[in-house]
Amino acid sequence: MIKIITVIGARPQFIKAAMLSKALQKRSKVNEIIVHTGQHYDDKMSSVFFEELNMPVPKYNLEVNNLSHGAMTGQMMINLEPLLLSEKPDWVVVFGDTNSTLAGALTAVKLGFKVAHIEAGLRSNNLNMPEEINRIITDRISQLLLCPTLKAIHNLKQEGFDNLTCRMVNTGDIMYDAAIHYSTQAAKTKSLSKKLNLSKYVLATIHRAENTDNIEHLMRIIDALNIINKEMKVLMPIHPRTHQIIQQNNIVCHFELIEPVGYIDMLDLIKNCTLVMTDSGGLQKEAYFFDKYCITLRNETEWTELCENGYNTLTGSDIHKVIESFHHYKDKNIGDKSMFYGYGNTAELIADELLKDI
């Protein structure tokens, strides 16, 4: 029996883990144990996802949250160490670039357990982003680098990973698997966009620290969205932390704010919107999956292939760039697309890679 411990803590990781779990369950000699670090602890951001995604309930919940970066990562490692020593996994699987990712990878490798990093090789080239530091370190100490794109492979090769004792594989993007699988499920449920009586609208999200922790950045983005809302409705499912900062600073939003939505409802909102505006990495891709142009409210992105091919544009918090980009994209539709992110079988390919040589 092969034992795999999957470490997750943030909402996008739940979605990716749900797809991997479905693939692993098809393999008869695999025991997957899910560990939830607790990083996303709000019920609307966490437990409801497990129910909605129909994924296994975590065997362990470390309940580490609401701490600084260092304290959170350190406490996760403290809690993970005895767990890993007790379970003795063949693989520790981590996703993406969060504190949970780094904590899982560091704890595992220090104890001599192999690490597989899903979404390896992404680079924004901005070391001021905590996520960039997390992904670089996680890549360097992982034995299996599961890359979502050829560009990610190229990034690793440029950094000399060919000379390291690790395996790099372009598996495609597991989020594409999820988008295909759960959008089919979304079509069978009552559409949130219809419940809200939406027609033409911009779907917007803000949650990155570079925007929420810099009040000037946040105010400029809100000002731009207020202006755009006069021409086309702007709808924002509001992240709890972003909402708190907006209220504390008396920032006025003239567009519609709604409570955080589940993944299936978010897919419905993406499929039916006119345009996406976000600082989320995952939402940039999901916009592309469903043929929507995206305006990214950051100065860089990990998904450079979308910008290079004109599907995405970077504006940062520059009001003029945001509004100019809105006018550029608002009446455009995406035609033929490249298969940057694989063919919807990424979870199966990852499962096969995990079972090699064991």
Positions marked active-site: 207
Token pair of 339 as six digits: 């298969």
Give CA–CA dist 356/152, Å, rounded. 22
Give CA–CA dist 321/255, Å, rounded. 19
**343 burial via Cβ count (<10 Å: 0-12, 13-18, 19+):** exposed
